[in-house]
Amino acid sequence: MTVSIGVTGATGRMGGEVLAAAADRDDLSVAFAVSRSPGDEVEGVAVEDAADFADLLASHDPDAVVDFTGPASCIEYASACAEAGVAFVTGTTGLSEGGFDALREAASEAPVLYASNFSRGIAALRRAVREAVPALDGYDIELTETHHNAKRDAPSGTALTILDDIDDVRGDSERVHGREGEAPRSEGEVGVHARRAGDIAGEHEVLLAGNHESLSLTHRAGSRGVFAAGALDAAAWLADRDAGWYDFTEVLE
Ligand SMILES: NC(=O)C1=CN([C@@H]2O[C@H](COP(=O)(O)OP(=O)(O)OC[C@H]3O[C@@H](n4cnc5c(N)ncnc54)[C@H](O)[C@@H]3O)[C@@H](O)[C@H]2O)C=CC1
Ligand SMILES: O=C(O)C1=N[C@H](C(=O)O)C[C@H](O)C1
């Protein structure tokens, strides 16, 4: 069966990657693509006006929508998909708590899968972190993420997910963002550092240090294609699920 998808944010960096990756797959077809700056073709697909999203959902009836846009539009698209009963896959980061609540509300009417990072490497890094942190009890932890100079949100969605993983296995810790002036480390804090430079697709390092040793767990995305491939795997997997909230780790099982 071919899974048909709608793509939002089609003229964005990730939207283009998703359309390029979809063109190389036999199990997926693109029903439509939208952007708030429509008009151009991306990867041979006509890009339509984001304002017509609900109408496009009704006329094309896709199996799933793949969204990499911004927090406000992500919620609007999720609500429209919920109303239409269409599966919604999103990698949009920078959502507020209220944004996540709205996304979870959409999941009561349609299948919704949010992942702050669609790479398999980050899924493996998260498992390694959850093992390393309790094994290295009391070690200092510093998390550094590096992204391209056009990224809006900081720290990255992936960094926030990893921080939640650390809290899960070690208990809530104080998050110290950057360091300046008289700023000695306090016991148990987690230092968080965000760097923005060039066209770096995404790097995350978790550094654990203590007991005269250090362990560094680092992931580097070589290109955005890795995120697009994971999101399309998620769309193919999610398309025929019941309404509910799903996690990327379930796709990888
Ligand atoms: N989960 C993951 O694996 C990944 C997540 N991301 C996230 O995806 C999102 C998009 O990233 P990029 O493609 O680099 O950004 P971008 O700025 O290149 O593209 C965003 C697109 O969404 C559109 N957009 C934004 N607000 C909109 C609105 N209100 N209505 C309609 N369209 C709107 C923009 O016009 C643009 O076409 C970010 O939140 C980023 O952090 C990016 C890469 C991987
Ligand atoms: O904006 C990006 O580019 C990325 N955003 C995601 C995040 O915020 O974690 C995932 C990836 O690192 C690329």
Q: What is the mean pLDDT of the chain?
A: 97
- Catalytic positions are 147, 151
Q: Are residues 217 and 235 in the same domain?
A: no
From the CA of 7, which ligand is nearest?
A: 1
Burial track 28-38 (b if 16+ CB lie within 10 A, e otherwise): bebbbbbbbeb
Question: Cα separations (Å) of 141 from 144, 162, 173?
Answer: 10, 11, 10
pLDDT band at 212 (very low <50, low <70, confident <90, very high): very high
Question: Cα separations (Å) of 168 from 35, 39, 209?
Answer: 37, 46, 19
Residues 97-137: tens digit of each pLDDT = 999 999 999 999 999 999 999 999 999 999 999 999 999 99
Q: What total number of domains does the chain contain?
A: 2
Residue 247: pLDDT over 90: yes
Distance between CA atoms of 19 and 232, rounded to whole angstroms?
10
> Which 3 state secondary structure label does DSSP give 76?
helix
Q: Has 69 been labeled as part of a binding site?
A: no
Q: Is omega for the bond preceding 184 within 30 degrees of 0, making it cis?
A: no
Assess contact for 132 and 215: CB atoms under 8 A: yes
Residue 2: pLDDT over 90: yes
Q: Has 126 been labeled as part of a binding site?
A: no
Any atom of ligand 1 within 6 Å of the Cβ of 144: no
CA dihedral 81, 40, 46, 65 (to 10 degrees): -20
ipTM: 0.97
Two tokens, residue 58: 């009704």
* Chain centre distance of CA 229: 12
Q: Are residues 143 and 237 in the same domain?
A: no
Rg from Cα positions in the chain: 19
CA dihedral 72, 235, 29, 121 (to 10 degrees): 100
Any atom of ligand 1 within 6 Å of the Cβ of 158: no
Residue 37: pLDDT over 90: no
Amino acid type, 158: T
The arithmetic mean of pLDDT across residues 174-198, rounded, is 96
Q: Are residues 87 and 141 in the same domain?
A: no
Q: Are residues 125 and 185 in the same domain?
A: yes
Q: Are residues 10 and 112 in the same domain?
A: yes
Give the per-residue pLDDT at 40: 78
Any atom of ligand 2 within 6 Å of the Cβ of 202: yes
Domain of residue 178, CATH code: 3.30.360.10
The dihedral sign for the CA sequence 125, 28, 147, 50: negative
Q: Are residues 13 and 109 in the same domain?
A: yes
Distance between CA atoms of 110 and 81, rounded to whole angstroms?
7
Distance between CA atoms of 81 and 85, rounded to whole angstroms?
6
pTM score, two decimals?
0.97
Q: Are residues 113 and 8 in the same domain?
A: yes
Residue 152: pLDDT over 90: yes
Tell me, in angstroms, the distance from the centre of ligand 2 to residue 211's CA. Answer: 33
What percentage of the chain reaches a pLDDT higher than 90? 98
Residues 56-70: tens digit of each pLDDT = 999 999 999 999 999
Q: Are residues 17 and 100 in the same domain?
A: yes
> Which 3 state secondary structure label does DSSP give 87?
strand
Give the per-residue pLDDT at 36: 92
Q: Are residues 213 and 234 in the same domain?
A: no
Residues of the domain holding 31: 3-118+224-252
Q: Are residues 58 and 144 in the same domain?
A: no
Burial track 144-174 (b if 16+ CB lie within 10 A, e otherwise): bbbbeeebebbbbbbbbbbbebbeeebeeee
Q: Has 196 been labeled as part of a binding site?
A: no
Q: Are residues 7 and 111 in the same domain?
A: yes
